[in-house]
Amino acid sequence: MDFNIFESSFDVVVVYDDSGLIEYANSSFYLFSGLSVARVIGKMTLGKVFIEIDEQPLKLNSFIGVKEARPMKVISFKTKSVEKGLGQYSIVPFEGKYILFFKDVTIEEELHKKYRREMGLKDKKIEEMDSLIELLHNTRLVKEPSKILEEFIKHILNNFGLGVGLLKSNEKEIVKIINSNYLGQSSVFDSLNKKIQGLPATTKYTYIDSDKVKELLSTSHIHSMVVLPIQVQSKDLYEIFIPIHNPEKAQQFDHQKVITLAEQMKLLIQNMTLERLSIFDDLTKLHNSRFFREKLTDYTNRYEKLNLVLLDIDFFKKINDSYGHPGGDAVLVHVGQILRLHQNNEVLVSRVGGEEFAILAPDQTLDQTLDMAAKISEQIKSSIVYYETKQIKCTISIGICSWNPEVQTVRDFYKKTDEALYESKANGRDRITVLQSA
The predicted-structure confidence for 245-298, as pLDDT tens digits, reads as follows: 889 999 999 898 888 778 877 877 777 666 666 788 888 989 998 889 889 988
Share of the chain above pLDDT 70, in %: 87
pTM: 0.47
209 Cβ contact list (under 8 Å, min separation 6) = 224
**Tally of CA atoms within 13 A in the half-sphere of 377 that contains its CB:** 21
Give the 3-state secondary structure of residue 428.
coil
Q: Are strands 396-402 and 432-434 parallel, antiparallel or unpaired?
A: parallel
**CA atoms of 311 and 396, how far apart (whole Å):** 6
Query: Domains of the chain, with CATH numbers?
Result: 3-104 (3.30.450.20), 109-277 (3.30.450), 289-434 (3.30.70.270)
CA distances from 148 to 1, 110, 232, 242 (A): 42, 20, 12, 16
DSSP 61: G
Render pLDDT for 351-404 as a digit per residue (tens, 0 to 9).
Answer: 998 999 999 999 999 999 999 999 999 999 999 999 989 999 999 999 999 999
The candidate with the shortest Cα–Cα distance to 356, out of 275, 438, 417, is 417
Tally the residues of the chain.
438
Contacts of 368 (CB under 8 A, 6+ apart): 361
Average pLDDT over the chain, rounded to an integer: 85
pLDDT at residue 209 tops 70: yes
Among candidate residues 343, 421, 351, 301, the one with its CA nearest the CA of residue 31 = 351
